[in-house]
Amino acid sequence: MAGDDGTAARHERTCVGFAVDEAYALPMAVAGRSLIDHHAGAEPLEIVVLDLGITAPTRARVLASWPPGTRVRFVPLPRENLDGLPLSDHEFVLHLNRNVYGRWFLPELLPAAYRRLIYLDADILVLRDLSPLWRIDLGGQPFAVAQDKGIPYVSSDLGVPDYRELGLPARTKYFNAGVMVIDLDRWRTARIRERALHYARSHPDMRFADQEALNAVSGGAWAELPPEWNCPVDEELLGPRHDAAPRIIHFLGPDKPWLTDVAWAPYCQAAYTTYLRRTAWAKELPALPVPRRRGGHQ
């Protein structure tokens, strides 16, 4: 079992997980390729994909994007588990659908042999080895995450509107759920999924869907990751001279590098294209965005 300090023992299995549908299979292939190419740890790398509606040809294409011998497991989630969960009409998240709630179910579907899950959103890019997350100290908490740069506290605009009613201090930190290191035993014991589902169904006006619910029910009881583990693509933070050496960059919001030119962050667009070229989607590159500069961050 995991030690009292929240570290994972060497004999216990750790996996990296994604939760995607057909639309996010391509970015997952890119994210997975960047993860694999930077893996330098002694632990074997295992990838678990929560399948939220990936066709068989696309699944084969994902597997063809990763080196032969990569340990990959696809786990289906019946659609009815997500029926009726609320969607926000906020402009920043109009591109999302109910599949964003899928990550809640992944810890429940993994075999008991797994003790720790490193969950990654598909719209990320890994720039350095993630092996340090295998045994990072969780301090007895069910998961570790990074504070959200744009929504730093539950009392922030777009935070948790009912934070007072929930008994949360205004300065309770708000996290971004795109990168999570999860202690599976503690997640299940704390009934995170059940509590988050209850919150979501009783708050149909949630603005950031699954992320708001997780922040609401966790009540600040989480371990904090340094920001370089979940670094938003931001013109002020990222570039060739960036001092923090981000390990993971996160393409937040509707501007995605496989759909449009993230021109206000050409360094990030170029990095994304590098890994895209190493996937089974490489032949489509002429039809994909080419980095170019334009004024301002829109």
Dihedral, CA of residue 43, residue 46, residue 47 and residue 51, to nearest 10: -150
Distance between the two ends of the chain, CA-based, in angstroms? 47
What digits encode the pLDDT tens for the residues 151-176?
Answer: 999 999 889 999 999 999 999 999 99
Q: Are strands 248-250 and 124-126 parallel, antiparallel or unpaired?
A: antiparallel
What digits encode the pLDDT tens for the residues 249-269?
Answer: 999 888 889 888 777 788 888
Residue 87, pLDDT > 70, answer no
Residue 43: per-residue pLDDT: 79
Residue, of 243 and 110, whose pLDDT is higher: 110
Q: What angle do CA 231, 154, 238 make, to 5 degrees?
A: 15
Residue 220, pLDDT > 80, answer yes
Residue 237: per-residue pLDDT: 52
Hey, what are 171's tokens? 């300065």
Task: Please provide the average confidence, as pLDDT, over all residues in the chain.
Answer: 85
Residue 289: per-residue pLDDT: 59
Hey, what are 222's tokens? 């989480």
Residue 80: per-residue pLDDT: 78
Q: How far is CA 2 from the centre of its chain?
A: 23
Q: Are strands 143-147 and 175-183 parallel, antiparallel or unpaired?
A: antiparallel
- Is the domain 13-231 a CATH 1.10.10.10 member? no
Hey, what are 98's tokens? 């109910």
Judged by average pLDDT, the poorest of 4-18, 192-206, 228-242, 245-259 is 4-18
Residue type, 58: T
Name which of 71, 123, 78 is nearest 96 in CA terms: 123
Residue 78: per-residue pLDDT: 81
User: In Å, how far are 167, 234, 281 from 291, measured between CA atoms?
Assistant: 46, 15, 18
**Dist. CA 243–CA 49, nearest whole Å:** 33
Residue 286, pLDDT > 80, answer no
User: Going by C-beta distance under 8 Å and a sequence separation of 6 or more, which residues neighbour residue 241?
Assistant: none
147, with CB counted inside 10 A (0-12, 13-18, 19+), is middle
Residue 94: per-residue pLDDT: 46
Residue 269: per-residue pLDDT: 87
- Ordered by start, the domain boundaries in the chain are 13-231
